[in-house]
Amino acid sequence: MIAVVGATLGAGSLHLATSADLSVLGPLSGGLPEFAMPHIAFADIVPVIIGGSAVALVSFADTSVLSRAYAGRAGTYVDPNQEMIGLGAANLAAGFFRGFPISSSSSRTPVAEAAGARTQLTGVVGAAAVALLLLAPNLLQDMPVAALAAVVIASAIGLIEVTDLIRIYRIQRWEFWLSIACLVGVAVLGAIPGIGLAIGVAVIEFLWDGWRPYSAVLGRVEGVEGYHDITRYTDARQIPGLVLFRWDAPLFFANAELFKERVLDEAKKAPEKAHWVVIAAEPITSIDVTAADTLAELDKSLHAAGVKLCFAEMKDPVKDKLKRFELFDQFGEEYFFPTVSAAANSYLSSQTATQVHPLWLLKT
């Protein structure tokens, strides 16, 4: 406050705005805003929609990031829905008073915290101060813009989480570089293009992870309950004629063909000729139309090779989708098992003693 008042008095008394071409705040528009019904011409609808969408995106990003940052510091919980309701109500009210769009400002909030603000009453006090300034519009006309910028910069420095960046760099390099790319994008391209770039990169990264997910063939491990990845447990044993295949991602258009290729490849690589392929489907949380068609093709390919396609631990919502896609009956309800162990036991029970060693029956 001392710095701002001193800079304002110095700039006004020395007439620096004219003598030194110093950028100052200038007189404000006097008077309180009046209620008015918004009116948009037909020709302005498209620009308003595009601009409004961009502003909404920036407001959403600003509010969500800032609320999470300060909630983390204070150890409190933030309800994102409540944040959006408050933001929407404030913007709706501002629209009827010809106000500018509102968000939880990443400049005002650090300034308020630096000044000792602790509750939402700060916003009420700030609004009252702004109303008083509108009644005296020339009071701050000599305030240097540089003084305002210095206040914001000094207060916002605390938002730069260098320690967190170092931790992210240490544990997940790609997330570190993603955050740096977003920072550079906003600084170089501007807020809206920068945020758009960040969203685009995040979507690409999500699709990349989903496109080539981890998959595993499962086997039995002596002394460990259940079935486990044979590449992680080198002493794991596969049941002869049974391929237990786990796919660690949703099934959708980007990875469906890869899923089919891996299943067929594992069926061919089985130590003994495969009779059943059981998909351990617990990690599969969703399936789209393209993936459903690929499943149907996979079933036909396995059937032609004398192999039965089965599923274990598939979630009910995913089953419901298969029913809508008219695939559930095609696969056969009896080949959907509640657990991987139930599928393995069913397979063992269907085999003759000459096909599967009796010890498997004793150990399952």
Reduce the secondary structure of the chain to three states and give it as a string. Answer: CHHHHHHHHHHHHCCHHHHCCCCECCCCCCCCCCCCCCCCCHHHHHHHHHHHHHHHHHHHHHHHHHHHHHHHHHCCCCCHHHHHHHHHHHHHHHHCCCCCCCCCCCCHHHHHHHCCCCCCHHHHHHHHHHHHHHHCCCCCCCCEHHHHHHHHHHHHHHHCCHHHHHHHHHHCHHHHHHHHHHHHHHHHHCHHHHHHHHHHHHHHHHHHHHHCCCEEEEEEECCEEEEEECCCCCCCECCCCEEEEEECCCECCCCHHHHHHHHHHHHHHCCCCCCEEEEECCCCCCECHHHHHHHHHHHHHHHHCCCEEEEECCCHHHHHHHHHCCCHHHHCHHHEECCHHHHHHHHHHHCCCCCCCHHHHHHC
Domain count, the chain: 3
pLDDT at 288: 93
| Shared domain check, 217 and 180 | no
| Shared domain check, 240 and 316 | yes
Q: What CATH number should be reported for the domain holding residue 324?
A: 3.30.750.24
Indicate the residue among 97, 128, 159 that finishes a domain.
159
Indicate the residue among 159, 188, 222 that finishes a domain.
159
| Shared domain check, 175 and 102 | no
pLDDT at 304: 94
pLDDT at 267: 95
pLDDT at 352: 56
- Domain span at residue 195 reads 161-211
- The parts of the chain modelled with pLDDT lower than 70 are 30, 106-107, 158-159, 352-364
pLDDT at 361: 45
pLDDT at 183: 83
| Shared domain check, 141 and 66 | yes
pLDDT at 207: 79
| Shared domain check, 191 and 294 | no
| Shared domain check, 182 and 52 | no
pLDDT at 80: 79
Indicate the residue among 91, 125, 159 that finishes a domain.
159
| Shared domain check, 256 and 207 | no
| Shared domain check, 117 and 253 | no
| Shared domain check, 123 and 190 | no
| Shared domain check, 334 and 276 | yes
| Shared domain check, 226 and 85 | no
| Shared domain check, 88 and 34 | yes
pLDDT at 187: 81
